[in-house]
Amino acid sequence: MVLELAVKAATGAPDVLGDCPFCQRVILTLEAKKVPYKLLLVNLSDKPSWLLEVSPEGKVPLAKFDDKWVPDSDVIVGILEEKYPEPSLVTPPEFSSVGSKLFGAFVKFLKSKDPNDGSEQAFLEELKALDDHLKARGPYVAGEKVTAVDLSLAPKLYHIDVTLDHFKKWSIPKDLASLISYKELLFAQESFVKTKAAPKYVIAGWERKLNSA
């Protein structure tokens, strides 16, 4: 049984896997659970009619379970955990919200044109909170073992690295050493290397978003 997964195609390259961190999160989950899957690459600037029928907002990822397309990476990952409980990726509840505000703070900072609007400070506080947690718990959010929260954070940290370097010449401060080690640990995993978008597609995807903002 091969699971079908509709994911974003790269901006300007419709036959290449794109830069959606939520799509990558689902693929990383499938890889970790060794579930066979087939990717359907969707060009989000020319959405196919079948996609709009099953997801009126035209959002991906979408996974097909029992002939029904299911949207939302949170929902999809939850269903995968139920259907394929081994190996378990369940994050202990007390750690499940670690880093949950990081991506929102990053997007605000990335879009900000005013250096005094507090967005950089707010983003730094989220990075520091994650670093403090990892310093105490590490190497992963829940300790020794990768769980769902790590697979959600890995693609977001990759986007943070690539886009802030490109658009703002900004990088995570060196003194957040636990966070930097964590990031390197995640990025070195074979499944991550295999499923990440090339930096140029990450940049192209954000360029489009920033220009339409």
Residues forming the active site: 20
- The CA-atom distances, in angstroms, between 207 and each of 25, 36, 126, 150, 213 are 21, 33, 24, 26, 10
Q: Which residues contact 22 (CB under 8 A, 6 or more apart)?
A: 60, 61, 73, 155
* Distance from C-alpha of 166 to C-alpha of 181, rounded to nearest angstrom: 21
* H or E segment and range at residue 212: helix 199-212
28: Cα separation from own chain's centroid = 9
In degrees, rounded to 5, the angle at the alpha carbon of residue 133 between the alpha carbons of residues 129 and 135 is 115
Q: Is the peptide bond before 173 cis (omega within 30 degrees of 0)?
A: no
